[in-house]
Structure 1
Amino acid sequence: MSLSPNSTDRFLLPVEATSRHASFSAAAEELNVSESPISHAVTAAEAFLGVQLIDRMTRPISQTSEGKIYMATLSNCLNQLATEGGPLRRSKTRYALTISCNLANANYWLLPRLKLFHREYPKLQVHASGGRRASCRPITQRSLQRF
């Protein structure tokens, strides 16, 4: 099934949190929203899927048999995404250089030198920030020796 703006991709986390906690209020607290959007998300997911996922008549709320099947798949998928995302996050560059300078210095001094700099230090991420009040100091070979 392809995910589109009208599909359940917007509802996955609210449904999962509500089912895991057996509570709209606990799910809302976890996702840092009020109970209303959680309830609406679960209702919208149920409408999209055409089945009731949550039995609202019991306290605490519980999963229907269809909800249990759907939650098992959803939990496995979210766990797999978390597992696969770990190495991607760890592969980020550990070293970063932040340069803050005014726009004129960024355009006329910094940008022409960044390509050569990146060739010399390919594992170093460079973050540039420009503004009216920022001043730019030239990067010297001495200041880069530790990289």
Structure 2
Amino acid sequence: MKNMRNIPHFTLLRAFESAARLKSFTLAAEELHLTQSAISHQVRKLEDYFGCALFIRRNRRVELTLEGQRFLESLSRIFDVIEAACAEVSLAPKAQVLALYCAPSLAVKWLGPKLPEFMKAHPDITIRLTTGSGQVDLLRMRELDMSICYGTITDCSGIVNEPLGTERNVPLCSPSLLEPGVDAVALIKKLLLIDSQLNNVNWASWFTLNNLRLPARPRPSFDRAAMSLSAATDGMGVALESTRLAERELARGDLIELGKGVFKEMNVVTHTVSWRADESQVPKIRLFREWLYQVADAQPA
């Protein structure tokens, strides 16, 4: 028999959260439809449970102690999750929630801006998006429906892994760095090069591909493609990044492809889409997958 969770009764937590958020026992009593003495009694029981004061009582107001403030910050995040979970359960019977895990830079720079299009086409599917730089085990993390992870993923029984097409990785920089009369080869040799730490495509490989010598000078580096692209947009130097991730900056003219038609391109599989094999025909997964490959202009293998 599993042990019960070692946490106070939810009634006490709710009374504390309300009083701490509203900074008033009276307002908390009104919100929870209780008396002020009931709120005070429940908070006191919680303080006895922890063995420390959570509030400083004033004449007509209350203030949180340091312990109370820390507890409120943690508890507020938990209550937000509970509230979201309750909202999902109360959705219309035909509504579906698609829990999606995505690499951070892809989510921010490419997928996020396109999601309104999917949501408009499929209003009965609610997207719940979380991000992370690591790969996830969908057989173990059943709360997730699909993942779009950076890099290739080792095949695993019960999981379908499909590349999200190939991505062009090219030198990208602000047009402000261009110099009249200076060609792309001369510029790439003199401009500051920006490293993306997690990118499988690096400057050494790119320079070798293009039969050029990599300049022996320090290079700034960032652990997210989004940060490298932002630095390039701000004029720091040249980033070797995916044109998929830089789609909006290229469209606006904030970034340009340095040496387009001059340098050789590096086309690589950068992101992998995964889902559980036995859920391939679940409507929300099938519809999202079909839409995703359409907007990526790629075809699953």
Q: TM-score, normalised by structure 2?
A: 0.29
Letter of the aligned partner of 2:39 in structure 1?
A: I
Letter of the aligned partner of 1:14 in structure 2?
A: A
How do 1:1-147 residues align onto structure 2 when only pairs under 5 Å count? 2-3=5-6, 7-57=8-58, 59-92=60-93
Quote the offset at 1:13 in angstroms: 1.1
Letter of the aligned partner of 1:69 in structure 2?
A: R
Count of aligned pairs between the two proteins = 92
Structure with larger RCO (C-alpha < 8 A, sep 6+): 2
Report the Cα distance in structure 1 between the residues aligned to 2:73 and 2:93, rounded to whole angstroms. Answer: 31
Deviations 1:79-138 (A, max 9, x none): 0111122221104479xxxxxxxxxxxxxxxxxxxxxxxxxxxxxxxxxxxxxxxxxxxx
Query: Do 1:3 and 1:9's aligned partners in 2 also have CA atoms closer than 8 Å?
Result: no
Q: 3-state SS of the aligned residue for 2:90?
A: helix
Report the Cα distance in structure 2 between the residues aligned to 1:58 and 1:66, rounded to whole angstroms. Answer: 21
Query: Do 1:18 and 1:26's aligned partners in 2 also have CA atoms closer than 8 Å?
Result: yes
The structure richer in helix per residue is 1
Structure-2 residue corresponding to 1:123: none
When Rg is computed on C-alpha atoms for both structures, the one with the higher figure is 2
Quote the offset at 1:10 in angstroms: 2.1
Report the Cα distance in structure 1 between the residues aligned to 2:82 and 2:63, rounded to whole angstroms. Answer: 25
Report the Cα distance in structure 2 between the residues aligned to 1:8 and 1:69, rounded to whole angstroms. Answer: 19
Q: What is the root-mean-square deviation in Å for CA atoms of aligned residues? A: 2.1
Structure-1 residue corresponding to 2:247: none
| Structure 2, unaligned runs of 5 or more | 96-301
Quote the offset at 1:12 in angstroms: 1.1
Q: 3-state SS of the aligned residue for 1:90?
A: coil
Q: 3-state SS of the aligned residue for 1:11?
A: helix
Report the Cα distance in structure 1 between the residues aligned to 2:11 and 2:51, rounded to whole angstroms. Answer: 16
Query: Do 1:46 and 1:53's aligned partners in 2 also have CA atoms closer than 8 Å?
Result: yes
Query: Do 1:16 and 1:74's aligned partners in 2 also have CA atoms closer than 8 Å?
Result: yes
Percent of aligned positions that are identical: 28
Gap change, CA 1:22 and 1:91, over 3 Å in 2: same
Report the Cα distance in structure 2 between the residues aligned to 1:32 and 1:90, rounded to whole angstroms. Answer: 26
The structure richer in strand per residue is 2
Report the Cα distance in structure 2 between the residues aligned to 1:31 and 1:10, rounded to whole angstroms. Answer: 10
Report the Cα distance in structure 1 between the residues aligned to 2:36 and 2:59, rounded to whole angstroms. Answer: 17
